[in-house]
Amino acid sequence: MDKPFAITLNPGSSLANHTGSWRTERPEYVDRLPPCNATCPAGENIQAWLFHAESGDYEKAWRSLTENNPLPAIMGRVCYHPCEGACNRQYVDAAVGINSVERFLGDEAHKHGWKFAPPAAATGKRVLVVGSGPAGLSAAYHLTRMGHKAVIYEAGPLAGGMMRFGIPKYRLPREVLDAEIQRLVDFGVEIQLRTKVTNVLEAMQDGFDAVFLGVGAHIAKRAYIPAGDASKVLDAVAVLRGMEGTQSDEMAPMLGRKVVVYGGGNTAIDVARTAKRLCAEEASIVYRRTRDKMPAHDFEVEEALQEGISIKWLSTIKEAGESDIMVEKMALDDKGFPQPTGEFERIEADSVVLALGQDADLSLLENVPGLVVEGGMIQVDRGMMTGHPGIFAGGDMAGNERTVTVAVGHGKKAARAIDAWLRGEQYAPPPKPEIATVDKMNSWYYSDAPKTVRPVLDIIRRQSTFEEVLGGLDETNALFEARRCMSCGNCFECDNCYGVCPDNAVIKLGPGQRFKFNFDYCKGCGMCAAECPCGAIRMVPEEN
């Protein structure tokens, strides 16, 4: 019987080096942009700090996070987390609780007294920052990191802007706000309170090389509502501002027992919930459109309804009397717009609070050549610079989407542009890679791990106190939540490609170094790309 014929190839021989001619495609490792990173208005590298958090190195995670955002304990409470709406984990079970982990890291920093790393060497440049809201604080932080001297002029008696005077304490405890601001002061940011800028050009002459305008939207929009002499018509900004530094029982008589709020945004929700906490027997919202058109975030509407706030949809206030208001019912036309019906009803009301939006005070910009203001907002270029050289702007006065997160992003973006401008250059952001969409991943590798639900204050205390409504995660839950991240688009060294390759063409480079392909052996079968959980391998046409 003949012996079977066999050939053993030496990997170094010429016969072993012909697989390239068999391939039509070859694999390559790629870093894609996680969708959470792509949608974060503050430009956080979310996947990076989650990676450190899931390993239990919370300080390193916090330091990675604060490279882009200096206010994580605040953001973990007030951000509307668009990152979670884009998270690919939602197609497995539920989005990663990014916001809750961010809050945990921010609170850990306060608990352990973590400080920012020392800034770069001083450049000798001074930049004026007008306003100490989120945009101003963010700009000042990043400018300080770059070695510039940032000086904030704040017109009010306390720093924080609309975070302090527009967000109720039950959403943002003041000790958290104060701690975040104090860390910035300790870092080197100078804040001058009760310093109002009335003319930006004159302020610049006080030894400043550039200026960033971060003036918040503090001026309430008005609506004409016929009212009797005894009627109490207030604006939402004044009500929320009046809460700062006062006790609830001091303000309760101002609003009365029955309070009606006119508007449909988050501010309207905040005022109605505040009124309830001030012992109002009834707090209701009148809104001219339907719930699906309401600009307030859905979870805030739900929390308000849980607390006993009533909402009259498709209604407008036509008249305010001494102890009631007249409401006209609306109906949607064939295009979905509300139209008056001529049907009226009267509702008891001791006070009416207008929450119809706010405008920024732009009077400090009068007679500044080159500036363009449209729709109550100052126009800026891609680097947040106005039409006047050296004057930059961000936050409420330079954007339609008025949130803390957007403002923080504006401040960082402007700081980078200011730094380049001071050096006679123009900042050019690096190109962004393609986004790691769920179709580029193999989500079946991830087992179900339900999202951790944050604790919520009981309804009784929510209706009668200003205690924080939404609680934070403990370390166990925060660690679990961080580990739910799927590392979309970026290799986390799971060894799948190494294990499934039939040709042993994947080479491990060591911890943290990932892998590379040995194309002397790779046949281009694509199994590595097909089995990569996070979509960090793609097949490309073979080069001839």
Element (H, E) at 409: helix 404-422
- Between CA 374 and CA 366 the distance in angstroms is 14
Query: How is 323-379 classified by DSSP, letter by letter?
Result: SEEEEEEEEE-TTS-EEEEEEEEEEE-SEEEE-S-EE---GGGTT-TT--EETTEE-
* Crossing angle of helices 134-145 and 404-422, rounded to 10°: 40
State the pLDDT at residue 19.
55
Going from N- to C-terminal start, the domains of the chain cover 14-31+491-541, 35-114+441-482, 126-218+360-422, 223-356
State the pLDDT at residue 212.
97
State the pLDDT at residue 245.
63
Tokens 């295009």, residue? 335
- Between CA 401 and CA 404 the distance in angstroms is 9
For residue 46, CA distances in Å to 83, 84, 159, 201, 391 come to 9, 11, 27, 38, 31
State the pLDDT at residue 238.
86
State the pLDDT at residue 231.
63
- Between CA 405 and CA 74 the distance in angstroms is 10
State the pLDDT at residue 85.
94
Q: Please give the model's pTM, rounded to 2 decimal places.
A: 0.90
Structure tokens at 207: 């030894």
| CATH superfamily, with its number, for domain 126-218+360-422 | FAD/NAD(P)-binding domain (3.50.50.60)
Q: Is 290 exposed, middle or buried (0-12, 13-18, 19+ CB in 10 A)?
A: middle
CATH architecture of the region 223-356: 3-Layer(bba) Sandwich (3.50)
Q: Which of 215, 237, 235 has the alpha carbon at shortest distance from 225?
A: 235
Region of poorest pLDDT, from 12-21, 202-211, 332-341, 470-479: 12-21
For residue 387, CA distances in Å to 134, 302, 393 come to 23, 43, 10
Confidence of residue 533 (pLDDT cuts 50, 70, 90): very high
Which tens digits make up the pLDDT trace of 145-175? 999 999 999 999 999 999 999 999 999 999 9
Map residue 84 onto helix, strand or coil. helix
Domains 14-31+491-541 and 35-114+441-482 share a fold: no
Question: Mean pLDDT across the stretch 439-462?
Answer: 85
- Between CA 299 and CA 295 the distance in angstroms is 12
Which tens digits make up the pLDDT trace of 387-442? 999 999 999 888 778 899 999 999 999 999 999 999 999 898 888 899 999 998 88
CATH of domain 35-114+441-482: 1.10.1060.10
For residue 140, pLDDT over 80 is answered with: yes
For residue 250, pLDDT over 50 is answered with: no
Question: Mean pLDDT across the stretch 282-295?
Answer: 93
Confidence of residue 357 (pLDDT cuts 50, 70, 90): confident
Contact yes or no for 306/459 (Cβ under 8 A): yes
Strand duo 219-220 + 358-359: pairing = antiparallel
Q: What percentage of the chain has pLDDT greater than the value 90?
A: 69
Contact yes or no for 170/273 (Cβ under 8 A): yes
Q: What percentage of the chain has pLDDT greater than the value 70?
A: 94
Region of poorest pLDDT, from 12-16, 317-321, 361-365: 12-16
CATH of domain 14-31+491-541: 3.30.70.20
Confidence of residue 229 (pLDDT cuts 50, 70, 90): low
- Between CA 18 and CA 8 the distance in angstroms is 15
Tally Cβ neighbours within 10 Å of residue 77: 26
For residue 59, pLDDT over 70 is answered with: yes
Task: Please report how many Cα atoms fall inside a 13 Å half-sphere around the Cα of residue 218, on the Cβ side.
Answer: 19
Which tens digits make up the pLDDT trace of 11-46? 443 334 455 567 889 999 999 999 999 999 999 999
